[in-house]
Amino acid sequence: MARVRVFLAVLFLLFTSSPVHGADNGSDSVLESVPDLEKAMYLNLKSYPCVRLLNLSGEIGCSNPGNDKISAPIVRLKSGTISLARPSTVLLQEEQMQDFFLRVSGDMEFSKNVAGVLVEPSETVNMSSGFSPADKFPQSAFAPYSNTSYEWNLPGSGIMWNKYDFPVFLLAEESISTLKEIVGEGNEASPENVAEFDLVMQTTKLGTHDSETCLKDQTCLPLGGYSVWSSLPPINISSTVTKPIVFAVASFDSASFFRDRSLGADSPISGLIALLTAVDALSHVNHLKNLKKQLVFAVLTGEAWGYLGSRKFLQELDLGSDSIRGLSSSMIEQIVEIGSVGQSLGKGGTLFYAHAGGESSGTKVILKALEDASESLGSDNVKVKKASSMNPGIPPSSLMAFLRKNTSASGIVLGDFDSAFSNKFYHSHLDNASNIKTSSVAAAAALVARALYIIANGDATLDLMALNDIKVNVSLVEELVGCLVTCEPGLSCELVGRYISPSNGDCPSHYVGVFQDTPSASQKPSYVDDTSRFLWNFLADMTSATRDGTDSCTGDCSNVGDVCIGSETEGGGKCVISTTRYVPAYSTRLKYENNIWHVLPANPSDPMESVDPVWTESYWNTIGLRVYKVESPLYDRLVLAGGVFVTFASYLAVVIARTQLAKVVKRD
């Protein structure tokens, strides 16, 4: 019998180890294991998901409730498609997104057969009217004025705020050719091409349909992260600032229909880059300690999701928390926010608009400083103009939170638009590096740097020589654009590498993410994203003063008031004198207690808390996408017939072999 078993094993290998046409590279390969078989059958596609988010009133985004996996044939959407004959994966062009999702939300008969959606990026984007999945007045509930029907974002469709009970993926550019290999170029629906989605969002699966419930059941985490602030020159954190504060602000988080494609190049990263470049320019000015006002810079995260960063910053100020030690809200005299500034170039030069928050004397000082800064730039032809008085007030911005907190606050928002956003791709995955001009950002940086110097100088005689010496580094603007809004080099760029070792060297994404830390007073939080860590190190470096015999470091510094910059880099960092701090950014209505997040009742003294959505992101098990072919019924029948034949032939071979072996044994 031993000889028979060997014979059968050899026979099995002869039938199973046959060459097949490889799915990945088109070459013939031998299947030697189950993973080899799976690789031959399935093609994994790199893609970016739309995910499920929750707030106090419900859900938005995408999920596949009640299903571990969804498999459905791929159908390319044709213009004039009336209905889907059966559950299908719909393949869309980017240009079709808005109309499709508006239809899905309003046509239940059509949407019931949408099993999933694949969005195919276009090689050349032709959207003259723009594409923005945000509202026409983003976050209007936080406006410090009553006209919330005003349209700041003309292309806004609001589709990202709807709930979709099917998975949606944006295909990466490198996946397009792979998909075309499977689906083909034709427009005919083919039942032989199938997409399989792994997108399990636990909150929906467990029936927790809002933030309060999912936080209680611990199936989600609040959106949030860490903002950063810094002062120039450094201040004595053991005491409160005695000088009035000029507060310069920019935000660095964006939003998109697809979580991991939130570049936000114009809105808001162009403003962030302008502020960072202005800080660099001011850091080279001598005798800043002699200025009558203290310069403080803040870069805020979570602003796209209920102004989490600015509202939490204000709460920390009220509480006198360690994260803002040295600052006082009563000392903030003027607020200058740098908004979208990447598209202001025109034939006549560069024109920016100053959106004023009221007509206070402090606001007039800012406007006058911007005009004086513009004049000082002379031949650079950088102009500034006060925004139209027909506007209802300031545009969506962090300044809204400051004005809702204190209606008498003096501030302006500097932008590249007057009555409506010039950014046609606001909060869209298409707001990428091609949507901004580095020369426009550099011009804004020069204007802001000089205006801040003029404001901080107060009523003292202005040193025109020092003012004219304030020049921006255009190469730094270009470098920051490459690091923060492009995939090559992205966060793997040399500038970021001077300060941190990024955990994600791929294309940057400025989605705020979830707050994974345990809230504490520590300035060494456990979970800080790459962008926040880079900004902390960059600002600490630009605003620093060095000691004689600067110490090297890998963490803490021995002197009070010193911080360690570049501690993640090979060889360690260095200790410098700098007032640079992390500030947690999450909803002011949340409290972490007994290892669980709790939603607090709205504070009646804070009008913003009553409209706070309290955003959370559902936990998820796996997020993935792959495609495969399902052969025709005739092919399946042929395979079945072939299998039956092989089985019969194998049985017959075994019978013959046993008979022959029996004869051999008898002869022996």
The torsion angles phi and psi of 413, rounded to 5 degrees, stand at -115, 120
Per DSSP, 4 falls in state H
Phi-psi region of 373 (alpha: psi -120 to 50; beta: other; left: phi over 0): alpha
Q: Give which of 354, 251, 343, 240 is closest to 294, Cα–Cα.
A: 240
- 508: Cβ contacts below 8 Å, ≥ 6 apart: 263, 483, 484, 485, 487, 490, 491, 530, 531
CB 72 within 8 A of CB 91: no
In angstroms, rounded to a whole number, what is the distance separating the alpha carbons of residues 307 and 606?
Answer: 14
- Residue 120 CB coordination number (10 Å): 19
- Residue 519 CB coordination number (10 Å): 15
Question: Residue 667, SS3?
Answer: helix
- 570: Cβ contacts below 8 Å, ≥ 6 apart: none
In angstroms, rounded to a whole number, what is the distance separating the alpha carbons of residues 566 and 582?
Answer: 16
Per DSSP, 545 falls in state B
CB 333 within 8 A of CB 293: yes
The torsion angles phi and psi of 133, rounded to 5 degrees, stand at -80, 0
pTM for this entry: 0.88
The torsion angles phi and psi of 663, rounded to 5 degrees, stand at -65, -40
Sheet with 58-62, side-by-side order of all strands: 163-164, 58-62, 52-55, 616-618, 220-222
- The one-letter amino acid code at 627 reads V
In angstroms, rounded to a whole number, what is the distance separating the alpha carbons of residues 393 and 400?
Answer: 10
In angstroms, rounded to a whole number, what is the distance separating the alpha carbons of residues 365 and 369?
Answer: 6
Model pLDDT, residue 17: 46
Q: Is 371 exposed, middle or buried (0-12, 13-18, 19+ CB in 10 A)?
A: middle
- Residue 434 CB coordination number (10 Å): 12
Peptide bond preceding 489: is omega within 30 degrees of 0, i.e. cis?
yes
Model pLDDT, residue 466: 86
Tokens representing residue 212 in the block? 């309060």
Note the pLDDT tens digit of each residue in 548-594.
666 788 888 888 889 999 999 888 899 999 999 999 999 999 999 99
In angstroms, rounded to a whole number, what is the distance separating the alpha carbons of residues 123 and 281?
Answer: 38
Q: Give which of 308, 176, 276, 259 is closest to 507, Cα–Cα.
A: 259
In angstroms, rounded to a whole number, what is the distance separating the alpha carbons of residues 79 and 76?
Answer: 10
- The one-letter amino acid code at 190 reads S
In angstroms, rounded to a whole number, what is the distance separating the alpha carbons of residues 360 and 356?
Answer: 9
CB 72 within 8 A of CB 194: yes
Residues of the chain with pLDDT under 50: 1-27, 185-191, 199-202
In angstroms, rounded to a whole number, what is the distance separating the alpha carbons of residues 216 and 233?
Answer: 44
Model pLDDT, residue 174: 83
Note the pLDDT tens digit of each residue in 456-512.
999 888 888 889 999 999 999 999 999 999 999 999 999 999 999 998 767 899 999
- 217: Cβ contacts below 8 Å, ≥ 6 apart: 206, 208
CB 416 within 8 A of CB 342: yes
In angstroms, rounded to a whole number, what is the distance separating the alpha carbons of residues 363 and 187?
Answer: 58
Model pLDDT, residue 658: 84
Model pLDDT, residue 483: 96
Q: Give which of 593, 17, 529 is closest to 252, Cα–Cα.
A: 529
